[in-house]
Amino acid sequence: MEQSLPRFLADVMLGRLARWLRIFGYDTAYLHRSEDDFLIYLILEDPKRTLLTRDVELATTPLLADNKAFLVKSTNLAEQIEELRTAFSIAPRKPAMCAHCNRRLVTVEKERVVDAVPQYILLNRDSFWRCPLCERVYWEGTHQEGMNRFLGYNIWGEA
């Protein structure tokens, strides 16, 4: 099942969208500085990845025909997410990817994050995830309520 999920490469114009896609659980590479030729090369080298761009000229490059690029039309983040929900049937998944380095988060025991999270969080949360690369620790918190308000729906589909 993991292989059938869409994978993305976001160009310089879509850094915020890349971060949200990672939080939603989708492998989304992001290069904050790169030439169009290099992005094209990366997509051709990894044909299971789709280039996300707001650059019409880049999206319509003949080398990226056959759905290798997707033109994101909106400048509004919530609308961009809706565009991808419609085009790729994405929905938030757990575990997510690290918002920083794009690695799949792994579940960790509470006892293993005692020195990495505030005491208040340890007292009020039971589930934790860690990035195996950068070792950032994640937990479900009030930020999810803010995400839900921003998008206008509960991203995890829970009551």
Q: 35-83 pLDDT, tens per residue? A: 999 999 999 999 899 999 999 999 999 999 888 999 999 999 999 999 9
For residues 7 and 83, state if they share a domain.
yes
* Averaged pLDDT for residues 112-137: 94
Mean pLDDT confidence for 91-100? 87
The two beta strands, 69-71 and 106-108, are: unpaired
Higher pLDDT, 108 or 95: 108
In 60-105, at which residue ranges do the beta strands (DSSP E only) sit?
69-71
Give the strand pairing for 106-108 and 128-130: antiparallel
Please give the DSSP secondary-structure letter assigned to residue 105.
P
Q: CB count, 10 Å around CB of 8?
A: 23
Task: Tell me which of 88, 114, 130 is where a domain ends.
Answer: 88
Same domain for 79 and 116, yes or no, is no
Choosing from 88, 115, 139, the residue where a domain stops is 88
Supply the range of the domain harboring residue 146.
106-151
Q: Are residues 80 and 111 in the same domain?
A: no
Residues 115, 40, single domain; the answer is no
Q: Tens digits of per-residue pLDDT, 20-29?
A: 999 889 999 9
